[in-house]
Structure 1
Amino acid sequence: MTDREFTIHRVFDAPRELVFQAWTRPEHMAQWYGPVGTTTPLDTISMDVRPGGAWRACMIGDDNGERYPSGGEFREVVEPERLVFTWGEPGGDEVALATVTFDDLGGKTAMTFHLAGLPADNSELFDNVQSGWASAFDRLTAHMENR
């Protein structure tokens, strides 16, 4: 059975450099990373933004306090155009590969997020991951509008 993948496109009313920073600076990431109903405290985020550098973040459920750690390794960093990184639960077996591209639209930014490598035999996980990222990007949209 092959792995599953998905792509999400968004356009932000913000310059490409700022949208790229939202992905690579902890003070920005703390404002949007995770679906609605979670918080990602700044002190849970660490980022070494270079190929081979690690990143970590921990979402915390607003209603139950449950912790959802995630992290991975940057594989490619081309500022402000492209990020490629692994994504999964630290120490877990299953790791997906995320590719994020940022296209300059003259003051706005088109972002394409592609996540590949999700297990094909777990539809519930796939649906939760896809909807979770979409919800996080709603928060990213609000963060860019409120900057």
Structure 2
Amino acid sequence: MVFDAWTIPDQMSQWRGSPGWHVDPATVTSELKPGGRHHHDKVRESDGQVVGTDAVFTEYFPPDVFVAKQRITGDDGINPDQPLELRVEFTKMGRHGTLVRIIQGPYDPSQSELHSEGWELELERLSQWLQANATPIEGAAR
């Protein structure tokens, strides 16, 4: 379920973005395979600023990991001419948990803390979205 939330466009567009931002669902495309392209636009609600992400999957191994080379535009802290790499790993933890490990960069050192905080906020939104959309697991404690 966690891997799907990251990779299926209809699901990803419902939770991605830090508070005050949202993903425009009409902009999300994803070819879920090595060499497949991905695109989404995040929109800041206060002023309509758009940050676009264009990516190509370099690795895609559901439900364990995906890696993408990214070009991000519209973010003053990221040079759109310097590609970033995003690696997201999913590790099953216990019966009902998943550890998500995000590695992205390189960032300018002055921007790395800001982006780390942004990922933490997005992961909180993911957790809330998963809780709201989870189907009960038979035999699971409530």
Query: What TM bracket, shorter-length normalisation?
Result: 0.7 to 0.9
How many corresponding residue pairs? Answer: 127
Determine which structure has greater relative contact order: mean sequence separation of CA pairs < 8 Å that are 6+ residues apart, divided by chain length: 1
- Give 2:80's aligned residue: 92
Deviation, 1:126, is 2.2
Deviations 1:23-63 (A, max 9, x none): 11011111111111101121111101111111111011111
- Give 1:101's aligned residue: 89
Q: Distance in 2 between matches of 1:89 and 1:26?
A: 18
Question: Does residue 116 of structure 1 match 2:99?
Answer: no
- Give 2:37's aligned residue: 54
* Counterpart residue type for residue 72 of structure 2: E
Q: Distance in 1 between matches of 2:40 and 2:26?
A: 9
- Give 2:121's aligned residue: 135
Deviation, 1:146, is 0.6
Tell me the secondary structure at the aligned position of residue 88 of structure 2: strand
Q: Distance in 1 between matches of 2:54 and 2:112?
A: 18
Q: Distance in 2 between matches of 1:128 and 1:86?
A: 20
Deviation, 1:104, is 1.3
Q: Distance in 2 between matches of 1:86 and 1:133?
A: 17
What TM-score do the two structures reach when normalised by structure 2?
0.82
Higher-Rg structure is 2
Deviation, 1:87, is 2.6
- Give 1:34's aligned residue: 17
- Give 2:5's aligned residue: 22
Question: Does residue 68 of structure 1 match 2:72?
Answer: no
Contact 1:95–1:118 at 8 Å: present in 2 too? no
Q: Distance in 2 between matches of 1:59 and 1:128?
A: 16
Q: Gaps (5+ residues) in structure 1?
A: 1-17
Q: Distance in 1 between matches of 2:122 and 2:8?
A: 16
Tell me the secondary structure at the aligned position of residue 118 of structure 1: coil
Deviation, 1:70, is 1.3
